[in-house]
Structure 1
Amino acid sequence: MLAIVSVTSPIFLLIALGFAAVRAGWIPREGALAMGRYALSFALPALLFNTLSQRPLDQIIVPAFLFAYVGGSLIAYALGLTAAAVARRTHPLDNAFFGMGVSMSNSGYLGYALISQILGAEALIAVAMSILTEVLLILPLTLILAELHDRRGRHGLARTLGKVVFQVVRNPIMLAIAAGLLFAALGWRLPALLGRTVDMLAGSAAAVALFAIGGTLAGQRLQHGLGPALAIAAGKLLIHPAAVLLMLFLVPAFDPTLTQAALILSGLPMVTIFPLLAQRYGLGELCASALLITTLLSFFTLNLGLWILGS
Structure 2
Amino acid sequence: MQDLITVILPVFLVIGYGYLARRFDWVSDELIDSVMKFAQNFAVPLLLFSGIARMDLGQNFHPPILISFYAGALSGGLFCFLGARYLFKRDLTDAVAIGFIGLFSNSLLLGIPITERAYGEVALAGNFAIISIHSPLLYGIGIAAMEIARTRGLGLSGFGLMRQIARSVLRNPLILGIAAGWTVNLAQIPLPAPVWDAVGLMTRAAIPAALFGLGGVLLRYKPEGDMRIILWAVAASLVLHPMIAYGLGHFVFDLPTPSLRSATITAAMAPGINAYLFANMYGVAKRVAASSVLIGTAGSILTIWCWLAILP
Q: TM-score, normalization: structure 1?
A: 0.92
Unpaired segments ≥5 residues, structure 2: none
Alignment of 1:24-63 (within 5 A): 24-63=24-63
Cα offset for 1:225?
2.2
Partner of 1:246: 247
1:115 matched to 2:120? The reply is no
Cα distance between partner residues in 2 of 1:292 and 1:155: 36
Partner of 1:73: 73
Cα offset for 1:287?
1.0
Cα distance between partner residues in 1 of 2:94 and 2:260: 32
Q: 2:303 corresponds to which letter in structure 1?
A: T
Cα offset for 1:159?
2.4
Cα offset for 1:137?
2.3
Cα distance between partner residues in 1 of 2:196 and 2:132: 23
Partner of 2:310: 308
Alignment of 1:158-177 (within 5 A): 158-177=159-178
Deviations 1:181-214 (A, max 9, x none): 2322333332222222111111111100111110
CA 1:154–1:13: 2 relative to 1, 3 Å: farther
Partner of 2:134: 134
Partner of 1:284: 286
Cα distance between partner residues in 2 of 1:225 and 1:305: 28
Cα distance between partner residues in 1 of 2:130 and 2:37: 20
Q: 1:290 corresponds to which letter in structure 2?
A: S
Unpaired segments ≥5 residues, structure 1: none
CA 1:306–1:141: 2 relative to 1, 3 Å: same
Alignment of 1:160-309 (within 5 A): 160-249=161-250, 251-279=252-280, 280-309=282-311
Report the more deviating stretch, 193-202 or 2-11.
2-11
SS for the counterpart of 1:27 is coil
Q: 1:303 corresponds to which letter in structure 2?
A: W
Cα distance between partner residues in 1 of 2:104 and 2:68: 14
1:89 matched to 2:85? The reply is no
**Quick check: 1:244–1:262 contact (8 Å CA) kept in 2?**
yes
Cα offset for 1:263?
0.7
**Quick check: 2:39–2:206 contact (8 Å CA) kept in 1?**
yes
SS for the counterpart of 2:311 is helix
Q: 1:35 corresponds to which letter in structure 2?
A: V
**Quick check: 2:97–2:284 contact (8 Å CA) kept in 1?**
no
CA 1:72–1:3: 2 relative to 1, 3 Å: closer
**Quick check: 2:104–2:274 contact (8 Å CA) kept in 1?**
no
Cα offset for 1:50?
1.6
CA 1:53–1:132: 2 relative to 1, 3 Å: closer
CA 1:195–1:92: 2 relative to 1, 3 Å: same
Cα offset for 1:154?
6.3
Cα distance between partner residues in 1 of 2:284 and 2:176: 30
Cα distance between partner residues in 1 of 2:109 and 2:25: 23
Q: TM-score, normalization: structure 2?
A: 0.92
CA 1:3–1:273: 2 relative to 1, 3 Å: closer
Q: 1:131 corresponds to which letter in structure 2?
A: I
Cα RMSD of the aligned pairs, angstroms, is 2.1
CA 1:60–1:261: 2 relative to 1, 3 Å: closer
CA 1:81–1:132: 2 relative to 1, 3 Å: farther
Cα distance between partner residues in 1 of 2:209 and 2:152: 36
**Quick check: 1:119–1:261 contact (8 Å CA) kept in 2?**
no
Size of the aligned set, in residue pairs, is: 310
Report the more deviating stretch, 281-290 or 169-178.
169-178
Identity of aligned residues (%): 26
SS for the counterpart of 2:276 is helix
